[in-house]
Chain A
Amino acid sequence: MTNSELNRLKDKAFQGFGIFCTLIGLVVLAIFLLNILIDGLGRIDWNFLNNLPSRRAERAGIYTAWIGTLWVLVLSSLIAFPLGISAGIYLEEYGKKNRLASFLEVNISNLAGVPSIIYGLLGLEIFARMMALGGSLLAGSLTLALLVLPIIIVTTRESIKAVPRSIRDASYALGASKWQTTWYQVLPASFGGILTGVILALSRAVGEAAPLIVIGALAYVPFAPSSPMDEFTVLPIQIFNWISRPQAAFATNAAAAIIILLFITFMLNGIAVYLRNKWQKKVKW
């Protein structure tokens, strides 16, 4: 009887602990966001978005950083999306279940787990040095493109897999070729899922600083890049730079820039979730 009571006690205790742990995660998240909001929200204004970097915290802005971020997003999308989606299509629709296919699968799962800084080293040696792109936007975008490639491939495969066999059958039966079937039926039907993956990939890319630092992106770039060969900085690097300045006013700037960065990240994730839900609701096979 005492044993049984003890068991029930343990059960209750663990339930309490479970709630506690779940809340810890959320509470820390809340404290964290609140802290940053309190620190940085007051600093955000039109000038902050529009000013060039400065030695004076009050005068410094994130103009070059967010333009750089935008450039990097666009360029790496242009590189990674076609590649990643094509590779996903190949693996799901074309790749026979042979040695190569299973090797590719292991390989992609491995790439997904390679730390981002290693991609930085790859970019440094191949893009920055061998291809002599230096610390340019193009070198950075290529590096980030490779970094997010596995994410795009995996989500593309998942969403293609979700397209029912019957749609492919119907298309083949009407005389469509494999590519026609893929292009006219499979891709449109899996578009939502692919887009979700692509946006998640973007939200990953937008927060990366380490690989860009390795390839040599600079902190003090007092002009907005205007071509892929220009030097650049991005929001996370600007934040890193401000964080490492000891003066409190720069910490305020960092908090403000973090709010902008988080806003972008959350917005991208929000769009992804929204698209996923919308697509799931709309397409019921």
Chain B
Amino acid sequence: GPTYDENADFTLEGDISIDGSSTVYPITEAVAEEYRYVAPNVRTTIGVSGSGGGFKKFSRGEIDISNASRSIKEGEAEAAHENGIDYIELSVAYDGLTIVVNPKNTWAKDITVAELKMLWEPAAQNKITRWNQVRPEWPNRPINLYGAGVESGTYDYFTEAIVGKSHASRGDFTASEDDNVLVQGVSGDINALGFFGYAYYEENKAQLKAIPVDDEDESNGKGPILPSLESIKDGSYAPLSRALFLYVSSKAIKKPQVVRFMDFYFENAGPLSREVGFIPLPDEKYKHEHEKFKQFVAKHTISATTGGNTDTTKIAQ
């Protein structure tokens, strides 16, 4: 059988179910994997339904934690409240949505936001199908698009930032919730152009080529800018950098294994998010988020005390 950490807590038991963003998945996966050595008897499952899919389940109370690459929407929040679920949003890392092409692509050296809009907006469907339609200097060859699936926060964010309207894009591209599929698609297709979270680019640098994006706004850096640790941190990689979140429900924190998991998350998110290719938050920010979480836990333990059964409260106190 597998081996465990020497300080492992074998008394901690039960399930943690996590679902949602594929962008956040690598960090959460890494945390969960390390957590396994600490709490070997806790069963953590992580799904990849995209931020939207995750929120749907989260607001129905089917999962404990939702990975999200965007904030919860009004509708989703309402649904959660209707089901008696209170939640907290916690930032865990920064991401820069990366525009990638095949390494053999010699012509695409940069791209402007306007060009991206022209390429991705709904009107482009079945019309903009060749590289030279985007920029006349580019060769007359087909352009194959790969992008995040519609349940994903990445998709929402990208359409919002580029097209100007959330959830509006052309429909004739390879859309997958699984960013690995996109990486594979772009890395095997000389005519490809795609976008996905920075971590997937970092992990697969050898098979991809990122192209710098120019938002034609001098105020946040001049000319085309590549996503990198610095440009994402300092906000010059606009408009495609963003924060990544975890959502934890008020029901989930009644489970000690979830609380311990979240503690573990904040203790380790910095190095782990770096390891899997994301840009960590500053340390004080992690402390701050952790504190926020602790207060959330405290609040719900107290509200349980006032509103609930006194016997169990005494034990809890």
Contacts and interface: CB of A to CB of B under 8 A. Distances in A.
Q: Do A and B bind each other?
A: yes
Interface of A: 50-52, 54-55, 63, 218-223, 231, 244-247
A246 B207 contact: yes
Given A220-B47, A222-B36, A244-B184, 14 more contacts: A51-B2, A54-B33, A55-B26, A55-B29, A55-B33, A219-B48, A220-B46, A221-B45, A222-B32, A222-B33, A222-B44, A244-B180, A246-B183, A246-B203
A82 B1 CA distance: 34
B138 to A, nearest CB: 25
Interface string B48-80: 100000000000000000000000000000000
A219 B43 CA distance: 14
B254 to A, nearest CB: 21
A158 to B, nearest CB: 42
B297 interface: no
Given A218-B45, A220-B46, A222-B43, A246 B29 contact: no
A231 B45 contact: yes
Contacts of A63: 2
B204 interface: yes
Contacts of A218: 45, 47
A246 B45 contact: no
Say what secondary structure dominates the interface of chain A. loop
B187 interface: yes
Contacts of A221: 45
Nearest to A226: B43
Contacts of B26: 55
Given A63-B2, A222-B36, A222-B44, A55 B184 contact: no
B2 A52 contact: yes
B168 interface: no
A265 to B, nearest CB: 25
Nearest to B62: A134
Contacts of A52: 2, 33, 36
B276 interface: yes
Contacts of A51: 2
B46 A223 contact: no
Interface string B264-297: 0000000000001000000000000000000000
Interface in B107-147: none
Given A52-B36, A223-B43, A244 B178 contact: yes
Nearest to B182: A246
A249 to B, nearest CB: 11
B30 interface: yes
Given A55-B29, A221-B45, A247 B204 contact: yes
18 contacts: A50-B1, A51-B2, A52-B2, A52-B33, A55-B26, A55-B30, A55-B33, A218-B45, A218-B47, A220-B46, A244-B178, A244-B181, A245-B180, A246-B183, A246-B184, A246-B187, A246-B203, A247-B203
A231 B62 CA distance: 14
B276 A55 contact: yes
Nearest to A245: B180
A247 B187 CA distance: 11
Interface in B1-31: 1-2, 26, 29-30
A219 B25 CA distance: 12
Name the 7 nearest CB pairs between A and B, nearest first.
A246-B183, A223-B43, A244-B180, A220-B46, A246-B204, A245-B180, A246-B184
A207 to B, nearest CB: 22
A246 B32 contact: no
A196 to B, nearest CB: 35
Nearest to B203: A247
Contacts of A231: 45
Interface in B224-259: none
A247 B277 CA distance: 14
Interface in B175-211: 178, 180-181, 183-184, 187, 203-204, 207
Nearest to A220: B46
Most chain A C-beta atoms within 10 Å of own C-beta, residue among B1, B43, B187, B203: B43
A44 B33 CA distance: 21
A246 B32 CA distance: 21
Contacts of B45: 218, 220-222, 231
Nearest to A63: B2
A210 to B, nearest CB: 16
A221 B33 CA distance: 11
Contacts of A222: 32-33, 36, 43-45
Most chain B C-beta atoms within 10 Å of own C-beta, residue among A52, A55, A223: A55
B47 A246 contact: no
A231 B207 CA distance: 34
A223 B46 CA distance: 12
A247 to B, nearest CB: 6
Nearest to B208: A246
Contacts of B204: 246-247
A63 B48 CA distance: 21
A246 B2 contact: no
Most chain B C-beta atoms within 10 Å of own C-beta, residue among A50, A52, A246: A246
A107 to B, nearest CB: 37
A218 B180 CA distance: 16
A32 B178 CA distance: 27
